[in-house]
């Protein structure tokens, strides 16, 4: 079971919004709210003062609208061909960076909306300032902006970019990206085109680069109570984040495994003494990486760390609960197991898993599969 503390989401947004000051605050809820549940996260973020939401897919925005979520929703990439009608009907604000997408959106908005009664379809124009993922080249921005404002069915609501190195505060690349964005915006203003909301800062940018905050910050991982990088702690910037997610299971079986026996697929782990072993009914199909047991992964049972042993399987994993000789057994079936979260004075964090697996906390929370039920609650029980 995954438990999500929506009060923690609200708390995190409030604290990050205070750092951003009077700027617009965009809560990024793509990938089902980084695995936390997009609708509940969006609602909690709005309670905390988020003025915008952002998603990656048109379908993610439609899900929010169908759940009754109001307010501007930014689509962080261009909508794929054929989805323009959904963008217009659901009042989604798409990011654009190609002439073809601008033309398709204009045609859809013209066909669907009444220009005398309906507001034009707002779009944000993205500049590739050095991330080189998506975005128009700086030399193309003026022509694209002009093509947008020339359409009665479209309006230019913003100009944006994405920072590639914001989680490394001392790297000068971020400053270079911001300079290119600023030059692009100045070119528009010189041509008499209003750029609208100018935005660049992700969580790391909002925390570590005050000059990147501009007119709006787009915070993703930080609203979930996770630092943007293992070396970039939000607390260093006087922002106290509270992790919102707990991943909890329960012991399903307890047995004794004799000294010399090996366990799980491949029989990679051999017991040096008779040991109590607990089986936990979660595995890599639930989001526990198969390799975690081989790089020191552990769980919390009864307030103690218990090391994973043998390979994590699709539906189950095993933990060593200590040598035989204790009476009664140190764990029992039905006992709670914390995979991510706190128990007693111990804690296991998404960044702990990430550091062991040479990845990032984002991948850990996004990787918890949808067969694990989500329970949203205000505060921790």
Which of 3, 30, 97, 362 is catalytic? The answer is: 30
CA distances from 218 to 25, 59, 163, 215, 363 (A): 6, 20, 11, 10, 19
| Listed residue (228, 374, 223) closest to 287, CA to CA | 374
Q: Which listed residue (34, 173, 265, 362) is catalytic?
A: 265
Q: Is 34 assigned a catalytic role?
A: no
Q: Cis link prior to 328 (omega < 30° from 0)?
A: yes
> 304 an active-site residue?
no
> Look-up: residue for tokens 């390799």?
291
Catalytic residues: 30, 265
């Amino acid at each position: 079971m995954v438990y999500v503390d929506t009060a923690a989401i609200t708390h995190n947004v409030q604290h990050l919004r205070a750092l951003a000051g009077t700027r617009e605050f965009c809560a990024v809820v793509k990938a089902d709210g980084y695995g936390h549940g997009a609708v509940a996260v969006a609602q909690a973020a709005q309670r905390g003062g988020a003025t915008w939401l952002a998603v990656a897919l048109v379908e993610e925005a439609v899900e929010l609208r169908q759940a009754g979520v109001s307010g501007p929703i930014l689509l962080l990439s261009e909508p794929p061909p054929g989805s323009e009608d959904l963008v217009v009907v659901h009042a989604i604000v798409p990011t654009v960076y190609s002439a073809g997408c601008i033309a398709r959106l204009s045609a859809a908005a013209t066909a669907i909306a009444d220009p005398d009664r309906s507001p034009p379809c707002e779009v944000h124009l993205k500049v590739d300032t050095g991330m080189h993922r998506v975005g128009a080249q700086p030399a193309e921005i003026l022509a694209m902006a002009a093509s947008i404002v020339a359409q009665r069915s479209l309006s230019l609501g913003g100009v944006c970019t994405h920072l590639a190195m914001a989680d490394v505060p001392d790297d000068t690349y971020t400053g270079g990206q911001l300079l290119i964005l600023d030059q692009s915006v100045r070119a528009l203003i010189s041509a008499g085109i209003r750029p609208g909301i100018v935005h660049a800062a992700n969580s790391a940018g909002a925390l570590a680069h005050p000059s990147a905050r501009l007119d709006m910050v787009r915070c993703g991982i930080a609203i979930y109570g996770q630092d943007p990088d293992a070396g970039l702690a939000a607390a260093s910037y006087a922002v106290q984040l509270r992790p919102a997610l707990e991943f909890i299971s329960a012991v399903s079986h307890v047995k004794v495994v004799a000294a010399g026996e090996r366990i799980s697929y491949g029989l990679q782990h051999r017991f040096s003494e008779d040991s109590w072993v607990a089986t936990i009914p979660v595995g890599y199909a639930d989001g526990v990486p198969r390799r975690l047991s081989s790089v020191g992964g552990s769980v919390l049972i009864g307030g103690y760390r218990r090391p994973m042993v043998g390979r994590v399987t699709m539906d189950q994993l095993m933990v060593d609960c200590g040598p035989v000789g204790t009476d009664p057994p140190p764990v029992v079936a039905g006992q709670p197991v914390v995979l991510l979260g706190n128990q007693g004075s111990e804690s296991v964090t998404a960044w702990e898993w990430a550091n062991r697996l040479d990845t990032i906390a984002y991948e850990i929370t996004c990787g918890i599969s949808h067969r694990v039920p989500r329970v949203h609650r205000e505060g921790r029980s």
